[in-house]
Amino acid sequence: MGFMENKNNVDLNEDGKPSKKKILYSVGKSLHTYLKHHGREVSLPILHKDLLNFTWSIPMKDKDGNYTHWEKAIYDKRDWDYLREGLVKIYAVLKTEGDLSFINHLDVERIDYCTFGNSLPFRIRIINKFNANYDHYYIKLTDASRIYGLELEHILSPNRITFFTHGNTLVEEHIPGIPGDVFIETMLNNPETNKTRLAKEFVKFNERCFVRLLGDMRSYNFVVNVTPDIEGYQYRFRAIDFDQECYEGRKNFYLPQFFKENNKLVQMTLQQLNKESIEQYQAEEKSSMAFRVAASRFRLMDLFNIMSKDTISLPEKRDQLKHELNSHFKIKGFNRCHSMGQIVKLHLKLMLKDNLKLIQEKTKRLKGK
């Protein structure tokens, strides 16, 4: 999908907005078996329902004094003592494979509750008692489409994701970075920001989301990692919200370039890069994804076999996406898809078929030597 032909269309209209309340889909037996096989299902001492027993909450403000969607949860002392011990153990599971030899150094400083998220997320702040350094992780309700999104991010993106499930509880690591909306407002036009490199990475992120059909990547649903380099800085865009993995029906919903919240990034990209450069970076990203598909093909095959039989969206959304992708590729192949999982599988195949063919031919030549 190109940028150049969409210079005057960088916003989704009202029909393109996400559902006001996304349906949560339960984790079926096959997906549960997959998660257990790949080490994602573990026994957790604290479940999501335990965190709902807070006595009251206090609205939280950001560093500029503006109210956020987060509230600080306050618990009775008996509940707090019980939660602290279990939440520190969960952090050990996330970070050290359950090694508890370091937990005496750690404590829970705060539990935050988000009233905005569909998954009723809690943000846990863990602090090191010796040096006051802190880290976060999240506890949410499970949702099959979100879990598929996390797995596809882990397999197909340049990033690795640590998460665990236990029943209807999902534990996710914190993804560090500068929130996209904050970066746009405070850093985009800084003199030290290398806009050409930033534009390159936005093109790659845009392509990555479309290839695996990850939707709703507005600026507040991704972060920007800034890494000092030999000369200047390097950048990477990382998704932090996976609720909208192949859930909505509109094709453009899976392209970050079409959201008004990302308009400044789109305009910057069009100013910094010509058509040939954009196509080059799109090709680079597809090539990288194809290598990841080849390297993880058996795990990906297992995931798609389960995903293709699962229900993770509404029939009308599925049919709309089939129609729009047929129009985009000028084919009728998506008519054979009976689920969102089958749509993602076919879409991935169509987007990466040339790259996968080259990898296959190269592998055959090497085997023939």
For residue 124, the one-letter residue type is I
CA-closest candidate to residue 109, choices 133, 90, 93 = 133
The model's pLDDT over 28-77, given as tens digits with 9 standing for 90+, comes to 999 999 999 999 999 999 999 999 999 999 999 888 888 888 999 999 99
What token pair was written down for 205? Answer: 């992120």
The model's pLDDT over 225-263, given as tens digits with 9 standing for 90+, comes to 999 998 889 999 999 999 999 999 999 999 999 999 999
Higher pLDDT, 119 or 289: 289
Q: What is the pLDDT of residue 149?
A: 98
pLDDT over 70 at 291, yes or no:
yes
Q: What is the mean predicted confidence (pLDDT) over 299-322?
A: 97
User: 33 and 17: one domain?
Assistant: no
Q: How far apart are CA 253 and CA 257, in angstroms?
A: 9
In a domain, 261, yes or no: yes
SS3 (DSSP) at 118: coil
Place of tokens 């078996």: 33
User: 100 and 77: one domain?
Assistant: yes
pLDDT over 50 at 8, yes or no:
no
- What percent of the chain has pLDDT above 90? 83
Q: What is the mean predicted confidence (pLDDT) over 86-99?
A: 93
User: 120 and 269: one domain?
Assistant: no
In a domain, 162, yes or no: no
In a domain, 154, yes or no: no
Q: How far apart are CA 291 and CA 272, in angstroms?
A: 28
Q: What is the pLDDT of residue 67?
A: 85
In a domain, 152, yes or no: no
Q: What is the pLDDT of residue 363?
A: 78
Query: Are the beta carbons of 286 and 207 closer than 8 angstroms?
Result: yes
| CB atoms inside a 10 Å sphere around CB 9 | 12
Give residue 12's region: left, alpha or beta (phi > 0; psi -120 to 50).
beta
Higher pLDDT, 195 or 97: 195
- Residue 18 — pLDDT band, cuts 50, 70, 90? low
User: 203 and 286: one domain?
Assistant: yes
User: 186 and 214: one domain?
Assistant: yes
Higher pLDDT, 205 or 11: 205
User: 120 and 200: one domain?
Assistant: no
User: 249 and 360: one domain?
Assistant: yes
**Crossing angle, helix 340-368 and helix 275-295, to 10 degrees?**
80
In a domain, 234, yes or no: yes
User: What sign does the dihedral 210-215-220-225 (CA atoms) show?
Assistant: negative
The model's pLDDT over 93-131, given as tens digits with 9 standing for 90+, comes to 999 888 888 888 999 999 999 987 788 999 999 999 999
Structural domain span for residue 210: 4-21+176-368
Count of domains forming the chain: 2
Q: What is the pLDDT of residue 20?
A: 60
User: Strand (E) positions, the chain?
Assistant: 56-61, 67-74, 106-114, 122-128, 134-141, 163-166, 169-173, 178-179, 222-228, 233-239
What token pair was written down for 45? Answer: 């001492």
Q: What is the pLDDT of residue 14?
A: 46
**Final residue of a domain: which of 126, 141, 156?**
141
In a domain, 126, yes or no: yes
Query: Are the beta carbons of 222 and 244 closer than 8 angstroms?
Result: no
Start-to-end CA distance of the chain, whole Å, equals 38
User: 129 and 15: one domain?
Assistant: no
For residue 1, the one-letter residue type is M
Alpha carbons within 13 A on the beta-carbon side of 24: 13
Q: What is the pLDDT of residue 10?
A: 47
**Final residue of a domain: which of 141, 162, 196?**
141
User: 254 and 190: one domain?
Assistant: yes
Q: How far apart are CA 191 and CA 209, in angstroms?
A: 29
For 114-123, 178-187, 202-211, 270-279, which range has the lowest pLDDT when averaged over its residues? Answer: 114-123
User: What sign does the dihedral 38-41-44-48 (CA atoms) show?
Assistant: positive
User: 217 and 341: one domain?
Assistant: yes
Q: What is the pLDDT of residue 4?
A: 63
Q: What is the pLDDT of residue 64?
A: 81
Q: What is the mean predicted confidence (pLDDT) over 175-190?
A: 96
In a domain, 163, yes or no: no
Q: What is the pLDDT of residue 19?
A: 55
User: 184 and 327: one domain?
Assistant: yes
In a domain, 151, yes or no: no
The mean predicted confidence, pLDDT, of the chain is: 93
Q: How far apart are CA 97 and CA 90, in angstroms?
A: 10
User: 11 and 45: one domain?
Assistant: no
SS3 (DSSP) at 234: strand
pTM: 0.92
